[in-house]
Amino acid sequence: MRFVVLLFLYLKLIRNINGANILFIGALASPSHYIWNKVLSTELVRNGHNVTIITHDYDSTKMENYTVITMKGFYEHLENEFPAEKYMLENNVFNFIHQSVDYGAIACTFDFSTEGFKVLMDYPQNFTFDLIIYDITYPVCLYGLIPRFNNPPVIAVTAFLLNPYVSYSFGNPLQTSHIPHYCSKFTNQMNLRERLTNTIYSWADILIYKYISIPRQTAITRAVFGQGMIPPWDEIERNISLLLVNTDPAFDYPMVLAPNIIPVGGLHIKPAKSLPQDFEVIYNKAKGGVIVFSLGTNVKSNILNKNHTDAFLKVFSTLKQVVIWKFETGVLENVPQNVFIRKWLPQNDLIGHSNTKLFITHFGALGTQEAMYHGVPMVGFPVFVDQHVNAAKLAEKKIALYLDYESLTYENIYNTITEVLNNPMYKNNIVKISQRYKNQPLTALERAVFWIEQVLKNGDVHYLNVPTRDMPMYQALNLDVILLITICLVFIYAVVKSVFRCCLYVLRMFKQDKVKEKMM
Ligand SMILES: *[C@@H]1O[C@H](CO)[C@@H](O)[C@H](O)[C@H]1NC(C)=O
Ligand SMILES: *[C@@H]1O[C@H](CO)[C@@H](O)[C@H](O)[C@H]1NC(C)=O
Ligand SMILES: *[C@@H]1O[C@H](CO)[C@@H](O)[C@H](O)[C@H]1NC(C)=O
Ligand SMILES: *[C@@H]1O[C@H](CO)[C@@H](O)[C@H](O)[C@H]1NC(C)=O
Ligand SMILES: *[C@@H]1O[C@H](CO)[C@@H](O)[C@H](O)[C@H]1NC(C)=O
């Protein structure tokens, strides 16, 4: 009897949140973000919800209650408007930030012209979503869909790290003294010059975003939705309930997080599955272990020129390990016996295989998280955006070695690879990280779903907000207090100085009088 009552209560409880109708807005065009967003959305579907995701990626997956609306043609469009060479290997942070403003405008203009966008806009005016999930990484013009669907609760997610603007807009302290900017090459141990640079980068990022990029995006959005339809940006933004961010204390530097920011780092990672036949055969023959070499979905193998590929192949020919290399652009010549080239890899399953010794990577966030999860040390070379700061972090944790793109020579590659293969420190350190990550009461994916359902159940979770989220910038940073203290100090200094001068003057007068007296 009691069981039946409990079951009834349980069903009643889940019915409240079950079958929610969710719109997932994948605003950033990036295949890796789509992978991450898809893992989260399909898990919500498995929990009984109906998810409609609008994205730039093609996906032919057929799954009940999972609808993909593609804003088709963006990647091709980008190649013409904003070629990869323009931002890959870009080492100047200000150039990068400046380019991202242009990129935002290009992306917004494009999105609004797509069929996919029109499909969503043609939904009946009274169609309701119970929740909108927004990939807040960049850009934000699709915020326009929030008022279009009558302002349901909104949750922000990002497969990126916690960038300064997003951190700031959720009321989180910036911590520029120990959290390196995502375009820098710093670690969390910075000297005075580096901290100064880091602080300037972070604030430049926030100010350019707030005062240049967002107004440009808003203008494009208002032209599409109508001036009156779109409330001020910061109002929409402050109304977002929560942020689910792709970080975890086991993977990342320790940092302070406001309660409305939930770390769900690595939610895309699954335990390794058994390998397809082709790879199983390679692994069975690899007595010395396997090295997996894979750049990501954004960085392709054509980032390497012939000198680079020759150098890698020459190094591989000296190793006792087998190398599986994802090389999707063109054909490699003189491939040694122990190297297998494939256009596609089941990356997570390969990294997760117990016979994998090393992962060669460009230090993209998702791949390096997989390697940490499975406890496989890394070598590689970062190419753009957060990859430098990721590489520096993993080197700081002594679980990876990295080379600059400019220094990819035979000798350097040979030295880094053999050092990480032969020195057990790297493996030992990363296994510890793997254990720490796995030893948590909920997995990242469970935590993400839990918080999404909290918002579905309770609507308002603004009790999690730190008051700084609603304060003007000068108050949140206590700039007025600092100014007041400075004025006081200057005043006190002035008073003390004039009193001192006065005393000195009196003393001197007195002395002179005495001298005069003596002379007389
Ligand atoms: C899809 O949603 C409907 C309505 O909410 C529900 O009845 C059905 O069980 C769901 N299907 C799956 C596979 O979850
Ligand atoms: C589920 O989502 C699809 C696609 O957006 C929509 O057509 C359908 O009406 C939704 N189902 C429910 C029960 O809301
Ligand atoms: C939405 O509006 C249409 C007509 O404008 C109406 O037929 C339909 O029942 C409404 N749907 C809901 C869920 O209110
Ligand atoms: C903020 O969200 C609430 C409900 O979550 C909604 O009623 C309100 O209109 C939203 N305001 C803005 C400015 O988006
Ligand atoms: C490759 O190396 C040769 C010899 O060191 C050099 O002359 C050439 O410029 C290099 N090519 C590229 C594309 O870097």
In this prediction, residue 95 carries a pLDDT of 85
In a domain, 128, yes or no: yes
Mutate to test the pocket of ligand 2, among 41, 42, 52 (most ligand atoms within 8 A of CB): 52
In a domain, 169, yes or no: yes
In this prediction, residue 3 carries a pLDDT of 52
Same domain, 251 and 291: no
- Residue 478 Cα, ligand 4 centroid: separation in angstroms? 28
Q: Is 88 in contact with 102 (CB distance < 8 Å)? A: no
Ligand that comes closest to the CA of residue 304 = 5
Q: Rounded to whole angstroms, how far apart are CA atoms 326 and 370?
A: 16
Instruction: Supply 512's token pair.
Output: 């002179």
Residue nearest to atom 5 of ligand 5 (CA): 307
What is the per-residue burial (b if ≥16 Cβ within 10 Å, else e) of 252-278? bbebebbebbbbbbbbbbeebeebeee
Burial-class residue 24 by CB neighbours within 10 Å (0-12, 13-18, 19+).
buried
Q: Which helix (H) or strand (E) holds 511?
A: helix 479-519
In this prediction, residue 12 carries a pLDDT of 44
Which residues lie across from 67 on neighbouring strands?
52
pTM to 2 decimals? Answer: 0.92
> Which ligand 4 atom lies nearest to the CA of residue 239?
1
Ligand that comes closest to the CA of residue 148 = 4
In this prediction, residue 17 carries a pLDDT of 61
Same domain, 163 and 283: no
Same domain, 485 and 466: no
In this prediction, residue 227 carries a pLDDT of 83
In this prediction, residue 15 carries a pLDDT of 44
Q: Rounded to whole angstroms, how far apart are CA atoms 394 and 400?
A: 5
User: For the chain, which residues score pLDDT lower than 50?
Assistant: 1, 5-6, 8-9, 11-12, 14-16
- Residue 19 Cα, ligand 2 centroid: separation in angstroms? 10
Q: Rounded to whole angstroms, how far apart are CA atoms 402 and 380?
A: 5
Q: Is the CB of 119 under 6 A from ligand 2?
A: no
Q: Rounded to whole angstroms, how far apart are CA atoms 213 and 220?
A: 11
Distances (CA, A) of 81 to 58, 75, 84, 216: 20, 10, 10, 18
Mutate to test the pocket of ligand 4, among 128, 129, 151 (most ligand atoms within 8 A of CB): 151
In a domain, 281, yes or no: yes
Q: Rounded to whole angstroms, how far apart are CA atoms 333 and 215?
A: 50
Instruction: Supply 344's token pair.
Output: 């596609």
- Residue 45 Cα, ligand 1 centroid: separation in angstroms? 8
Q: Is the CB of 19 under 6 A from ligand 1?
A: yes
Q: Rounded to whole angstroms, how far apart are CA atoms 188 and 67?
A: 41
- Residue 23 Cα, ligand 2 centroid: separation in angstroms? 10
Same domain, 213 and 201: yes
In this prediction, residue 2 carries a pLDDT of 54
In a domain, 355, yes or no: yes
Q: Where are the beta strands (DSSP E) in 102-174?
A: 131-135, 154-158
Q: Rounded to whole angstroms, how far apart are CA atoms 101 and 81?
A: 14
- Residue 19 Cα, ligand 1 centroid: separation in angstroms? 7
Same domain, 387 and 483: no
User: What is the residue range of 420's domain?
Assistant: 277-438
Same domain, 248 and 351: no
Q: Rounded to whole angstroms, how far apart are CA atoms 250 and 354?
A: 21
Q: Rounded to whole angstroms, how far apart are CA atoms 251 and 374?
A: 12
In this prediction, residue 93 carries a pLDDT of 83
Q: Rounded to whole angstroms, how far apart are CA atoms 381 and 383?
A: 7
Same domain, 413 and 332: yes
> Which ligand 2 atom lies nearest to the CA of residue 67?
4
Same domain, 461 and 496: no
Q: Is 399 in contact with 377 (CB distance < 8 Å)? A: yes
Total of domains in the chain: 3
In a domain, 2, yes or no: no
**Domain-terminating residue out of 412, 438, 464:** 438
56: phi then psi, degrees, rounded to nearest 5: -95, -5
Mutate to test the pocket of ligand 5, among 89, 304, 307, 406 (most ligand atoms within 8 A of CB): 307
In a domain, 301, yes or no: yes
Same domain, 344 and 198: no
> Which ligand 2 atom lies nearest to the CA of residue 23?
5
Give me the torsion for CA of 47, 52, 57, 61, rounded to 10°: 60
Q: Rounded to whole angstroms, how far apart are CA atoms 324 and 330?
A: 16
Same domain, 296 and 206: no
- Residue 147 Cα, ligand 4 centroid: separation in angstroms? 8
Q: Rounded to whole angstroms, how far apart are CA atoms 210 and 196?
A: 21
In a domain, 241, yes or no: yes
Q: Is 250 in contact with 282 (CB distance < 8 Å)? A: no
In a domain, 59, yes or no: yes
Mutate to test the pocket of ligand 1, among 41, 65, 66 (most ligand atoms within 8 A of CB): 65
Q: Is the CB of 50 under 6 A from ligand 1?
A: yes
Classify residue 182 by its DSSP letter: T
Same domain, 176 and 62: yes
3-state secondary structure of 39: helix
Same domain, 252 and 384: no
CATH assignment of the domain containing 430? 3.40.50.2000
